[in-house]
Amino acid sequence: MTTPSNYQLHVTGMSCQHCVKAITQAVQDQDGEAQVTVDLPQGLVTVDTVLGEDAVREIIREEGYGVA
């Protein structure tokens, strides 16, 4: 079993709870055990997942958000 990694990503374009849900669901669709925390005011998404960082960044981009 792969050990989860923790990523903190600065994400642009998030403004509401719909954004939180969209990002959380998109990541969890790829890793059902992922833990996703979104800090809207700071534009910060923290993810504990077995997915690689590049994969997480791509998932968020595919939802229409920018990742720094």
Confidence bin at 14 (pLDDT 50/70/90): very high
Tell me the residue range of the domain where 57 lies: 5-67
C-alpha–C-alpha distance, residues 5 and 63, integer Å: 21
Q: Using an 8 Å Cβ cutoff, are 46 and 6 in contact?
A: yes
The mean per-residue pLDDT over the stretch 24-28 comes to: 99
pLDDT in the model for residue 1: 65
Q: Which helix (H) or strand (E) holds 27?
A: helix 17-30
Q: Using an 8 Å Cβ cutoff, are 33 and 51 in contact?
A: no
pLDDT in the model for residue 2: 80
Number of domains forming the structure of the chain: 1
Q: Which two tokens stand for residue 47?
A: 């993810």
Residue 63: give its domain's CATH number: 3.30.70.100
Q: Which two tokens stand for residue 18?
A: 């719909």
